[in-house]
């Protein structure tokens, strides 16, 4: 790194060159600076003012480092020594909305004892920043990255919460919503009012230009607006006359979410400042929202472009310099080939595993494990410094993001099969146990996604309505089965809070005009603490789900083998999934019956894979002889260790 660049920055920030923090900064720049420079050069190097832009970005980084609180700097040092801290059988995540789960940030603080009871070491709080009143896409339209939504609390309360969580061994994950701001963000207000500096922060273009992009774009929220653009007249009130010269604004999601234009390095610099501000507030993990969409280029689908990766790597390099303990979690709900590309130690160290999530539900619907087994075989390996975040549910719709090419190898037509899954899970398919709602059905493409709580999708809602004890039991088994898989799949298991007590769909959103148009609200219930209390009362649904899950969590936390990646295992039975961990402490074999009938795993097939030892099932405590066929009851999950 050019010494005079650094000297210039020190001078601009009025810092003495022998200052201890400055010295640490210079050292980190020596390690990561040229990588950062190369990344930014590949994005912005064609500009004449590139070096000035680079210095500006490095200044933002230095400022953030100098402002970083001492306790976080200590954490940085700890995690630099132990960079795989998140790869542990102790890790367990939970997701919650601040308002819906506990009313406010202080309410969340009061739930820390509950988080500990459940065993959480990682909490993802849904967006809690200032956002438009009414519809804000659940907070995914941010009006200020530096202000907490006043109805939830203050920035100081957020800082207090991060400290309290950390003192209790819990990391905080917050979203970095960096593809767009809300239309009420100061930058957007200025841009929409015509300020030329801020117009450059967004994509504002003529209808003719917008059409040229739209030709290749996928519609993400077709219910909200066709294509990816909203007319500028929506804000200015000047009536549009649909002339090709009318200005339009890029809004991939809702009209009130305005896409940022990273082609402009000032946007990168501004967002770098916001990102490091969040890191300095004590956030451990940033969930990188909607990563697929952040770079646009005419003539492409504007998803998963190479520059999107470069951009995230540049943010990552900044954080290595100014907030080294920070982790990035990728939210790419796209084709599995594309999901994998975000997962690298120098890009996103952890990533949602949307394929596992979707295929767990696929197997519950079909009772077949073929797609799941294939995915474990060919798509579960990632860099050893990275980890999957395995989940059965999150706040979003479920998209059937398996690969059509993989499916066709098994004789499955992807298009038809997605149709079947949507029919099945919306309860339109005969004998379906599920009660989900369609999300963003697109009549033009036949595409649809799915909403619904885990319990409703697993059959509990229907079984309770039918008063069918037998079906209630099966539904609870399904819920525990898929959670047992995410708890034994390596990586970080993530529980969508309310699922742990078997909460059902919440149809109340239909009465709220700000929510009625978005079926995802059916699976965003207000936590019912009276129901939560029932987890302590033996025999209740809440207790049956909760205690089953708690038992699995206890078992997981006692098995270091479960922190590692998995290998596929054939079971000789199309309804039984198998995978194994091969660990220094010995193997751990998982068998999972995805049907409501008893099944056998073949001893001969297991033997051929070297899995033939006297075992103990950690879940039941029973001894199991692997040299005989292994009997599994309906939806049984077994975690087998050498006895």
Can residue 399 be called a binding residue for ligand GLC (CB under 6 A)?
yes
Site string for ligand GLC, 260-299 (x = CB under 6 A): -----------------------------xx-x-------
Q: For residue 235, give the 3-state DSSP assignment.
A: helix
Short-list 267, 349, 306, CA closest to 39: 306
CB of 254 to ligand GLC, least distance (A): 8
Can residue 259 be called a binding residue for ligand GLC (CB under 6 A)?
no
Residue 356 CA, chain-centre distance (Å), reads: 13
CB of 124 to ligand GLC, least distance (A): 11
| Closer by beta carbon to ligand GLC, 145 or else 635 | 145
Q: From its phi and psi, is residue 171 left (phi > 0), alpha (psi between -120 and 50) or beta?
A: beta
CB of 605 to ligand GLC, least distance (A): 37
- Residue with token string 């957020």: 158
Which entry of 175, 331, 347, 500 is annotated as an active-site residue? 331
CB of 273 to ligand GLC, least distance (A): 20
CB of 84 to ligand GLC, least distance (A): 27
Q: Which residues, 326 to 355, sit near ligand GLC by CB under 6 A?
A: 331, 333-334
| Closer by beta carbon to ligand GLC, 207 or else 418 | 418
Question: Do you know the residue count of the chain?
Answer: 643
Residues 6+ apart with CB under 8 A from 226: 219
Which entry of 89, 289, 346, 518 is annotated as an active-site residue? 289
Using CB under 6 A, which of 86, 122, 140, 546 touches ligand GLC? 140
β-bridge mates for residue 260, sequence order: 202
- DSSP of 533-558, one letter per residue? HGGGSTTSHHHHHHHHHHHHHHHHHT
Q: Considering Cα of 103, then 104, then 105, then 109, what sign does the dihedral take? A: negative
Q: Which residues, 535 to 574, sit near ligand GLC by CB under 6 A?
A: none
| Closer by beta carbon to ligand GLC, 401 or else 564 | 401
CB of 45 to ligand GLC, least distance (A): 30
The verdict on whether 617 is a catalytic residue reads no
User: Please, are residues 429 and 459 in contact by the beta-carbon 8 Å criterion?
Assistant: no
Structure tokens at 294: 């952040």
| Closer by beta carbon to ligand GLC, 291 or else 549 | 291
Can residue 449 be called a binding residue for ligand GLC (CB under 6 A)?
yes
Q: Calculate the alpha carbon distances from 203 to 116, 208, 259, 312 in Å.
A: 45, 13, 7, 20
| Closer by beta carbon to ligand GLC, 53 or else 422 | 422
Using CB under 6 A, which of 24, 38, 205, 220 touches ligand GLC? 220
CB of 49 to ligand GLC, least distance (A): 31
Residue 249 CA, chain-centre distance (Å), reads: 27
User: Please, are residues 129 and 144 in contact by the beta-carbon 8 Å criterion?
Assistant: yes
| Closer by beta carbon to ligand GLC, 87 or else 181 | 181
Can residue 177 be called a binding residue for ligand GLC (CB under 6 A)?
yes
CB of 558 to ligand GLC, least distance (A): 33
Which pairing describes strands 93-96 and 492-496: parallel, antiparallel, or unpaired? parallel
- Residue 547 phi, psi (nearest 5): -70, -35
Query: Which window, 79-87, 96-104, 391-399, 548-556, contacts ligand GLC (CB under 6 A)?
Result: 391-399
Can residue 99 be called a binding residue for ligand GLC (CB under 6 A)?
no
Short-list 434, 438, 433, CA closest to 451: 438
| Closer by beta carbon to ligand GLC, 290 or else 487 | 290
Q: Calculate the alpha carbon distances from 38 to 42, 265, 384 in Å.
A: 6, 14, 25
The verdict on whether 246 is a catalytic residue reads no
Interface with ligand GLC (CB under 6 A), residue total 16
User: Please, are residues 248 and 232 in contact by the beta-carbon 8 Å criterion?
Assistant: yes
The enclosing H or E element of 11 equals: helix 3-12
Query: Which window, 77-85, 137-145, 475-483, 566-574, contacts ligand GLC (CB under 6 A)?
Result: 137-145
H/E/C letters for each residue in 377-435? HHHCCCCCCCEEEEECCCCCCECCCCCHHHHHHCCCCHHHHHHHHHHHHCCCCCCCCCC
Query: Which window, 239-247, 396-404, 473-481, 616-624, contacts ligand GLC (CB under 6 A)?
Result: 396-404
| Closer by beta carbon to ligand GLC, 296 or else 449 | 449
Catalytic positions = 289, 331
Residues making contact with ligand GLC (CB under 6 A): 137-138, 140, 177, 220, 253, 289-290, 292, 331, 333-334, 396-397, 399, 449
């Amino acid at each position: 790194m050019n010494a005079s660049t650094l000297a210039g920055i020190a001078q601009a920030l009025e810092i003495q060159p022998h200052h201890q923090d400055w010295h640490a900064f210079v050292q980190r720049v020596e390690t990561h600076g040229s990588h950062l420079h190369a990344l930014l050069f590949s994005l912005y190097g064609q500009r004449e003012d590139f070096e000035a832009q680079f210095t500006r970005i490095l200044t933002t980084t230095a400022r953030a480092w100098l402002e970083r609180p001492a306790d976080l700097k200590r954490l940085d040092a700890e995690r630099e020594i132990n960079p795989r801290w998140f790869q542990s059988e102790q890790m367990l995540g939970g997701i919650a909305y601040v308002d819906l789960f506990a009313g406010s940030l202080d309410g969340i603080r009061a739930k820390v004892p509950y988080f500990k009871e459940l065993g959480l070491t990682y909490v993802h709080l849904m967006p809690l920043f200032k956002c438009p009143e009414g519809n804000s896409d659940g907070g995914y339209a941010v009006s200020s990255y530096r202000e907490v939504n006043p109805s939830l609390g203050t920035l100081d309360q957020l800082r207090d919460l991060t400290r309290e969580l950390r003192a209790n061994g819990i990391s905080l994950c917050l979203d970095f919503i960096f593809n767009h701001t809300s239309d009420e963000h100061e930058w957007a207000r200025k841009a929409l009012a015509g300020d030329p500096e801020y117009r450059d922060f967004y994509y504002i273009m003529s209808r003719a230009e917008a059409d040229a992009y739209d030709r290749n774009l996928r519609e993400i929220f077709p219910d909200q607006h066709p294509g990816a653009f909203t007319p500028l007249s929506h804000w200015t009130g000047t009536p549009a006359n649909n002339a090709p010269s009318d200005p339009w604004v890029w809004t991939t999601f809702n009209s009130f979410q305005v896409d940022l234009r990273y082609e402009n390095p000032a946007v990168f610099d501004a967002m770098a400042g916001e990102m490091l501000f969040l890191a300095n507030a004590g956030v451990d993990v940033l969930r990188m929202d909607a990563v697929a969409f952040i770079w646009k280029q005419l003539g492409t689908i504007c998803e998963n472009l190479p520059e999107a990766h470069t951009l995230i790597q540049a943010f990552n390099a900044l954080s290595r310099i100014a907030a080294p303990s920070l982790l990035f979690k990728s939210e790419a709900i796209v084709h599995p080939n594309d999901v994998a590309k975000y997962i690298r130690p120098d890009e996103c160290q952890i990533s949602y595993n949307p394929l596992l999530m979707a295929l767990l539900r696929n197997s519950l619907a079909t009772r077949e494990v073929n797609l799941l087994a294939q995915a474990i075989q060919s798509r579960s390996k990632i860099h050893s410094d990275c980890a999957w975040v395995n989940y059965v549910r999150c706040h979003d719709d479920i998209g059937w993001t398996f690969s059509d090419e993989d499916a066709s190898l098994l004789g499955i037509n992807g298009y038809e099969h997605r149709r079947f899954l949507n029919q099945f899970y919306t309860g339109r398919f005969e004998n379906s146990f599920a009660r989900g709602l369609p999300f963003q059905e697109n009549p033009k493409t036949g595409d649809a996604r799915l909403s619904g709580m885990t319990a409703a999708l697993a059959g509990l809602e229907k079984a309770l309505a039918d008063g069918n004890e037998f079906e209630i039991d099966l539904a609870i088994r399904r819920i525990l089965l898929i959670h047992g898989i995410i708890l034994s799949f390596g990586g970080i298991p993530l529980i969508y809070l309310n699922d742990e007590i078997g909460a059902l769909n919440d149809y109340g959103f239909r009465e709220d005009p700000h929510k009625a148009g978005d079926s995802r609200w059916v699976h965003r219930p207000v936590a019912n603490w009276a129901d939560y209390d029932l987890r302590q009362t033996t025999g209740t649904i809440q207790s049956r789900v909760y205690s089953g899950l708690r038992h699995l969590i206890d078992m997981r936390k006692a098995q270091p083998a479960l922190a590692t990646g998995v290998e596929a295992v054939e079971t000789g039975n199309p309804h039984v999934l198998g995978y194994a961990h091969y660990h220094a402490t010995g193997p751990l074999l998982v068998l999972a019956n995805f049907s409501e009938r008893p099944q056998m795993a073949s001893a001969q097939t297991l033997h051929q894979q070297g899995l033939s030892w006297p075992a103990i099932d950690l879940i039941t405590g029973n001894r199991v002889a692997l040299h005989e066929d292994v009997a599994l009851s309906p939806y049984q999950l077994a975690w087998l260790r050498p006895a």
